[in-house]
Structure 1
Amino acid sequence: MNSTTPRRLAWSIGTTACLVLAASAAPATVAGAFAADSIDGDVAVTSTETVSVRMDASGTVVNARVYEQLVLSGRGSVDISNPVPGGLRNLDGFGGWEVRDGVQRVTADVSGTQRYRSVADYDGDLPVEIDVDYRLDGKDVDASDLVGASGDLEVSYSVRNMTAEQQEVVFLDGSGQEQTRLQAVVIPMVGSLTTTLPSNFTEVRSAEANAAGDGKGGTSLSFTMTLFPPIGSDRATFGYTARIKDGVLPDANISLLPVNPLESPSFSGGADSYAAGAATGADLTAGATTIDGNLLKIRDGAADLVAGLLQLRDGAGELNAGLAGTAAPGAQALAAGAVKLRDGAGQLSAGTGDLTAGANKLNAGAGALAQGLKDAGAKAPALLGGLEELKAGLTLVDNGLTTLNGQVVPGAGQINTGATQLLGALDAQLLAGLDGALGALAAAGASAADLPDSLEKATIQGNVAGAVGAITQVRGGLDTTVRGGLTQIQGGSAQIRDGVDAQTSAGAAATDGTLKNGLARLLGGVGLLQTGGNDLLAGLGQLSAGANQLSAGTGDLAAGAGKLDAGAGTLAAGTGDLSSGAGRLADGLGDAADGSGRLADGLATAAGSAPALPEGAQTLSDQGTSQLINVGNATAMDYGLKYALIEASAARAGSAQPFGAPEGATALAAWRMTLAGESGEGSANVTRGIAAAVLIAAGLGVAALRRRPTA
């Protein structure tokens, strides 16, 4: 076919359901229907309009007719009006119809089935536009050029639905908000084109046709068309190629039927899949929005955790500095002093034993004692002063232990409580929140798996997988680094609190083996020494006042020396306990200093890693869940718009007959078109006619010559 030959045939139509819809069509007023006058009884009315079109191979309409069939079934009487075309002719007899102003009047008593069939010429619009292209050996040719030709033939058909009307369709986006779009809405139509190629068509190829042999050496081709979006398209393009010899062009027959995609079993599944896709997109949007909100909560909670870890890091540093720089060295010095005090107390105990023995001897040698008492009287005040200083020093140590208990124990307890609370929050809130997010992402991934295979589905699944990986990484960081640091904090602070409290609390004074108990005993012994020293000083004064009273005084001295010896023994035992407690205190404070150092290191590590938590949550929100929300919304809108377009097309499926049907009737319509082939017989008939005329003329001439009179 060359480019200068017209090939376009404009057809437009409004068509209802085909025969597949007849069973489900409920009585309703259709476009162009006339109100029924009356139907008495149980009578079903079916109106069928079939348009038959004959065209030549170039697509030019030769003639078109519309066949009307009105079927009355049941029992009763009817008096109805049926809209019909002009020039209606009765196919059931020679009688005419009662027609006035384009309306056929039918009045009948029905018992069983009655049919009224008629035909009329049709000059209205057709539903589709068709382009047919013929190429022989790569060149455009007319259909008539194929007759007797040989070569490689290519035939291409293009069928377009021309019933589109611009309508606003309404659908829901991913958040449930109504959206409106202006769309071209067609009457949904399906059809087929069939042709049978003769045996001189060989090497037949077609990517679109169903092909089969015709039993005579030829090839039957059948093409199907779904002429409405989004299930199909408003345009179908198809064709075939073949090698021909002594070519002809066979007829091609086209059938078109309207269809309701929401009711037809062949198409309702596709419509349902678009509705399900829209619902899945909405569910994905809602789930991603929830996950994104939880991620932002995690981000805010992680920021609070970072602030708390920074405070704990600073407090642990101060605690380590105090324990390692002051408390531990002081405890070491206290332990060394306690050892010396223990040794001195042992020596004092031995001396008081000797004093007791000397007192007994004094009773026998008062004369020698006078000078000794004079010397002792001079030294006694220094002894009492030393005991007073010792008592004051021990009192300061005891007060220092009380202060240490009041500061270190509560501080370590607060650190332990804070670490315990953070561990609880980590398990109950952060890790649980992340597990919830992983569960929601798994549900979103399962929902996305139900989508039809598409680029959007692959994008959704990729974003879900990325989000799962990011959350899993965040959760691993929390469960290892942060939990480990907090566990070290918890254990170290408990060790410090319990060790210091056991040695320095007020209750420890009554517990043997504690530093507080040793100091209490030491203070008691010093008190006894002070009492004995005062008694000794009084005795020495009396001895100095009168040697004559020495004998009586030496008895008291012996008794006092015994008490002094007992007090010195108690003092020696107390200083031994003090030395042991001071050693344990030094060891405990050393361990506390080591633990506080590890605590400070762990908190520093946690504080250094923690800022990545809110940053990771924000990144996951920006690059993961926010993208999921966008994809879900786009999916919901895409499928929602397509389903709304299907609904709008289905609504137009009820307005298809060219002229309409009686009110309440089941209305059916069909279109049959034939593209006539080219066989060359038309030209041959003309040639034979001319030859016959020539022969007749020649015969007449001969006859005239024979009748010419002779001279």
Structure 2
Amino acid sequence: MRLKQILYIALAFMIVLPSFLNGTAAVAEAVKTEGKVNSKEEVVYATLTANGELDNIYVVNTMDVARAGEILDHGKYSTVKNLTDLSELDQEGQTVRLDAPEGKFYYQGNMDQDTEIPWDVKVSYKLDGREVDTSELAGQNGHIEISIDTKANKAVDPVFYENYLLQVSLKLPNTYQNIEAPDGMIANAGKNKQITFTVMPGKEEKLSVEADVKDFEFQGVEIAAVPSTLPIDTSKMDTMTDDMSKLSDAIGKLNVGVADLVDGVAELNNGAGSLRDGSAKYKNGMNELDGSSAKLVGSSSSIGDALKEINKALPADTGEMDLSGLKQLPDGLRQLADGLTKAANGLSTLQENYSKAYDALDGTIVEIPAEQVTKEEIAELYASGADPEVVDKLVDSYKASQKVKGTYSNVKGGFDAVEPTLNEVSGSVREMSEQLNSIADDLSASLEGMDLSGLSELQKGLATFSSNYNEFHSGLVSYTNGVSELSNSYGKLHSGIVDLTGGTGELEDGVGELHNGTEELHQETKDLPEGMQKEINKMISEYDKSDFNAVSFVSSKNEKVSSVQFVIKTESIEKPEKEKKKKEPEEEKGFWDKLMALFE
């Protein structure tokens, strides 16, 4: 009886309890408060096939709940799952209703099948140069090439593609040989090599990894997409643009200096041309003088022989002596003196022309700067960013001008010695001419006032004159030999002057080209600071995403989204495992067996 009462009471309690609980739930439902969320984070997980085809996507949502209560979230989910506690989530269309406690609340939403990620990823494989399907790769040997192509998926909001940085990574065992990854970073990671690439926001990339493999297996490609956090420090940009302004101004001054150099080299070339022309006239005069030396020596020799014959022919008996031939001797001497005077005048004219040409050349070459440019200064000029071709021309012109200055310095002694030599030779020739005229005058006077009684004295005088004339003739021969040597030596000097003129001509052409180059460089760099600032601004707008505000990937209705990240992974390529023996199926347990097992 007692047992039946207990059973009735228990049965009544069981009947009443659900009604009581329902009533309590209804009351609780009526007084449920609205929750408050400080922020929300989304981590989007996407799995791809080995060649990059999208398999499935799910999102782990993290809610920072400031006040417990009912919270509404949005997303195009096929199913949702509570990851925080055992309470159920209420999903109506694209709205998820959850009763969240204070603190962090996590739930997972599996995206609809038509959802896509912001990037179009393609992975292809080549074995020994031949493209191979992923199903045929496991266990293969040879040279493998893995290509990863990333570009924008135009079916998805471009905000992620334009503002997110991709970190693409994959692992290969250390047993693989000759691992190469252009544009990638290779690092040791335990028994593997970790290869990492970075893809900047808004950029399409073609990445590749190569290796010699044996028994090939691959863990897949992992891609992490996060907002680009590369803020660019512009605090030093002003200094940089100021430096560029200084460089631009320096190039402008260089262009002006090269223009002055062009004028100076043109004057140098003109002076060298005048020197060459004067030297050519001098050379021709020397050659003519040298050519007439033989006649001059021959004439002098004839005079000397004539004097000897006259001296021998004078008889002891003066009555038998014919003096008609002797009277012709003064005229011959005067003609010879006349020739020497003309030669002296030619040498004086040559000396004057040489002096003018030499002064012009010396003044021009002295204006070439003697300062030496060091190798370090030339290297700094190359490193300054100036056009290398223009710098090459500048260096070549500098070397050529220094070579001209050095050559001139070496031969300047020869140039300096020419003018005194010309003065000395001209004076000597003029002196010989005066001596001959004096001899002719004396001889003529002697013949006019001579009588037969004075023939003995004339005979003695002619003997003395003949002897002195031999000395004069020896001096004349030495003079003509000197003229010959001077003519030969000056021929070589003139060749050097001609070469010098050719060098100054090439220098003028080179400096002209250099000025064209510096002018072009000046035109290209005069706006360099402004252009640089534009490029800096462009780079900042392209890569500085520090002002980017996160937006929800799953729904534009979600607010207070603080972070959205993507984790994308392709499936592995593995050799199939050997089949294991199937276990015998266990007998299904009933409700009471399962309940009792909880207490065991």
What TM-score, normalized to structure 2? 0.53
Structure 2 CA distance for aligned equivalents of residues 223 and 275 of structure 1: 37
Partner residue of 2:3?
Answer: none
Instruction: Assess, with a 3 A threshold, how the Cα gap between structure 1 residues 502 and 417 changes in structure 2: closer, same or farther.
Output: farther
Kindly indicate whether residue 349 of structure 2 is the aligned counterpart of residue 410 of structure 1: yes
Kindly indicate whether residue 471 of structure 2 is the aligned counterpart of residue 587 of structure 1: no
How far is the alpha carbon of 1:262 from its aligned partner? 3.2
Structure 1 CA distance for aligned equivalents of residues 363 and 186 of structure 2: 70
Partner residue of 2:57?
Answer: 62
Structure 1 CA distance for aligned equivalents of residues 121 and 257 of structure 2: 53
Partner residue of 1:75?
Answer: none
CA contact (8 A) 1:493 1:596 kept: no
Secondary structure of the equivalent of 1:658? coil
Q: After the TM superposition, which residues 430-441 of structure 1 pair with which residues of structure 2 at under 5 Å, given as runs? A: 432=368, 439=373
Structure 2 CA distance for aligned equivalents of residues 251 and 322 of structure 1: 94
CA contact (8 A) 2:272 2:361 kept: no
How far is the alpha carbon of 1:254 from its aligned partner? 2.2
Partner residue of 2:226?
Answer: 256
Structure 1 CA distance for aligned equivalents of residues 296 and 218 of structure 2: 119
Kindly indicate whether residue 566 of structure 2 is the aligned counterpart of residue 596 of structure 1: no
Instruction: Assess, with a 3 A threshold, how the Cα gap between structure 1 residues 622 and 51 changes in structure 2: closer, same or farther.
Output: farther
How far is the alpha carbon of 1:91 from its aligned partner? 1.9
Instruction: Assess, with a 3 A threshold, how the Cα gap between structure 1 residues 133 and 187 changes in structure 2: closer, same or farther.
Output: same
CA contact (8 A) 2:341 2:429 kept: no
Structure 2 CA distance for aligned equivalents of residues 235 and 464 of structure 1: 38
Structure 1 CA distance for aligned equivalents of residues 103 and 475 of structure 2: 120
CA contact (8 A) 1:464 1:624 kept: no
String of CA shifts for 1:493-551, please: whole Å, max 9, x gaps: 754542231241xxx4xxxxx55246436635654664x54xx79xxxxxxxxxxxxxx
Structure 1 CA distance for aligned equivalents of residues 566 and 175 of structure 2: 29
Secondary structure of the equivalent of 1:337? helix
CA contact (8 A) 2:348 2:426 kept: yes
Quick one: which of 383, 406, 427 aligns to 1:501? 427
Kindly indicate whether residue 180 of structure 2 is the aligned counterpart of residue 160 of structure 1: no
Instruction: Assess, with a 3 A threshold, how the Cα gap between structure 1 residues 627 and 402 changes in structure 2: closer, same or farther.
Output: closer
CA contact (8 A) 2:341 2:433 kept: no
How far is the alpha carbon of 1:94 from its aligned partner? 0.8
Partner residue of 1:655?
Answer: 548
Structure 1 CA distance for aligned equivalents of residues 375 and 260 of structure 2: 12
Partner residue of 2:68?
Answer: 94
String of CA shifts for 1:572-604, please: whole Å, max 9, x gaps: 767765553454234213421342244346535
Partner residue of 1:84?
Answer: none
Structure 2 CA distance for aligned equivalents of residues 574 and 136 of structure 1: 115
CA contact (8 A) 1:212 1:220 kept: yes
How far is the alpha carbon of 1:53 from its aligned partner? 0.6
How far is the alpha carbon of 1:330 from its aligned partner? 2.3
The alignment covers a number of residue pairs equal to: 481
CA contact (8 A) 2:167 2:199 kept: no
Secondary structure of the equivalent of 2:58? strand
String of CA shifts for 1:317-359, please: whole Å, max 9, x gaps: 53144313335522542354257558868999x99xx9xxxxx
Q: After the TM superposition, which residues 509-520 of structure 1 pair with which residues of structure 2 at under 5 Å, given as runs? A: 516-517=434-435, 519-520=437-438
Structure 2 CA distance for aligned equivalents of residues 413 and 655 of structure 1: 85
Partner residue of 1:700?
Answer: none
How far is the alpha carbon of 1:52 from its aligned partner? 1.1
Instruction: Assess, with a 3 A threshold, how the Cα gap between structure 1 residues 243 and 489 changes in structure 2: closer, same or farther.
Output: closer
How far is the alpha carbon of 1:256 from its aligned partner? 2.1
Partner residue of 1:130?
Answer: 121
Structure 2 CA distance for aligned equivalents of residues 155 and 312 of structure 1: 77
Q: State the superposition RMSD in angstroms.
A: 7.1
Counterpart residue type for residue 227 of structure 1: V
How far is the alpha carbon of 1:623 from its aligned partner? 12
CA contact (8 A) 1:420 1:490 kept: no
Instruction: Assess, with a 3 A threshold, how the Cα gap between structure 1 residues 288 and 128 changes in structure 2: closer, same or farther.
Output: farther
Secondary structure of the equivalent of 2:189? strand
CA contact (8 A) 1:320 1:597 kept: no
CA contact (8 A) 1:312 1:415 kept: yes
Structure 1 CA distance for aligned equivalents of residues 171 and 440 of structure 2: 125
Secondary structure of the equivalent of 1:91? strand
Instruction: Assess, with a 3 A threshold, how the Cα gap between structure 1 residues 239 and 587 changes in structure 2: closer, same or farther.
Output: closer
Structure 2 CA distance for aligned equivalents of residues 414 and 135 of structure 1: 84
Kindly indicate whether residue 44 of structure 2 is the aligned counterpart of residue 53 of structure 1: yes
Listed as ranges, the gaps of 5+ residues in structure 2 are 1-37, 74-101, 155-160, 553-560, 574-581, 591-600
String of CA shifts for 1:108-166, please: whole Å, max 9, x gaps: xxxxxxx9989999999966443456999985458xx99xxx745999684736499xx
Instruction: Assess, with a 3 A threshold, how the Cα gap between structure 1 residues 161 and 329 changes in structure 2: closer, same or farther.
Output: same
Secondary structure of the equivalent of 2:66? coil
CA contact (8 A) 1:250 1:676 kept: yes
Partner residue of 2:93?
Answer: none
Percent identity of equivalent pairs: 10
String of CA shifts for 1:44-91, please: whole Å, max 9, x gaps: xxx987541123444455333666xxxxxxxxxxxxxxxxxxxxx652
Instruction: Assess, with a 3 A threshold, how the Cα gap between structure 1 residues 694 and 628 changes in structure 2: closer, same or farther.
Output: farther
Structure 1 CA distance for aligned equivalents of residues 586 and 243 of structure 2: 72
String of CA shifts for 1:670-694, please: whole Å, max 9, x gaps: 6242549799xxxxxxxx9xx9999
What TM-score, normalized to structure 1? 0.46
Q: After the TM superposition, which residues 227-626 of structure 1 pair with which residues of structure 2 at under 5 Å, given as runs? A: 227-228=199-200, 234=205, 236=207, 252=222, 254-260=224-230, 262-263=232-233, 304=270, 307-308=273-274, 311-312=277-278, 314-316=280-282, 318-334=284-300, 336-337=302-303, 340-341=306-307, 394-415=333-354, 418=357, 421-422=360-361, 425=364, 427-428=365-366, 432=368, 439=373, 443-448=377-382, 494-504=420-430, 508=431, 516-517=434-435, 519-520=437-438, 523-524=441-442, 526-527=444-445, 530=448, 533=450, 579-600=470-491, 603=494, 607=498, 611=502, 614=505
CA contact (8 A) 2:169 2:223 kept: yes
CA contact (8 A) 1:187 1:650 kept: no
CA contact (8 A) 1:466 1:624 kept: no
How far is the alpha carbon of 1:669 from its aligned partner? 5.3
Partner residue of 1:671?
Answer: 565
Instruction: Assess, with a 3 A threshold, how the Cα gap between structure 1 residues 140 and 327 changes in structure 2: closer, same or farther.
Output: closer
Instruction: Assess, with a 3 A threshold, how the Cα gap between structure 1 residues 406 and 466 changes in structure 2: closer, same or farther.
Output: closer
Structure 2 CA distance for aligned equivalents of residues 341 and 256 of structure 1: 120
Higher relative contact order (CA 8 A, sep 6+): 1
Quick one: which of 646, 649, 652 aligns to 2:539? 646
Secondary structure of the equivalent of 1:130? strand
CA contact (8 A) 2:148 2:207 kept: yes
Counterpart residue type for residue 441 of structure 2: L
Structure 2 CA distance for aligned equivalents of residues 449 and 285 of structure 1: 13
Secondary structure of the equivalent of 1:262? coil
Secondary structure of the equivalent of 1:657? coil
Secondary structure of the equivalent of 2:565? strand
Counterpart residue type for residue 405 of structure 1: A
Instruction: Assess, with a 3 A threshold, how the Cα gap between structure 1 residues 574 and 189 changes in structure 2: closer, same or farther.
Output: farther
Counterpart residue type for residue 58 of structure 2: N
Secondary structure of the equivalent of 1:516? helix
Listed as ranges, the gaps of 5+ residues in structure 1 are 1-46, 68-88, 100-114, 165-185, 214-218, 355-371, 452-456, 509-513, 538-556, 660-666, 680-687, 697-711
Secondary structure of the equivalent of 1:414? helix
Instruction: Assess, with a 3 A threshold, how the Cα gap between structure 1 residues 239 and 391 changes in structure 2: closer, same or farther.
Output: closer
Structure 2 CA distance for aligned equivalents of residues 499 and 256 of structure 1: 96
CA contact (8 A) 1:188 1:260 kept: no
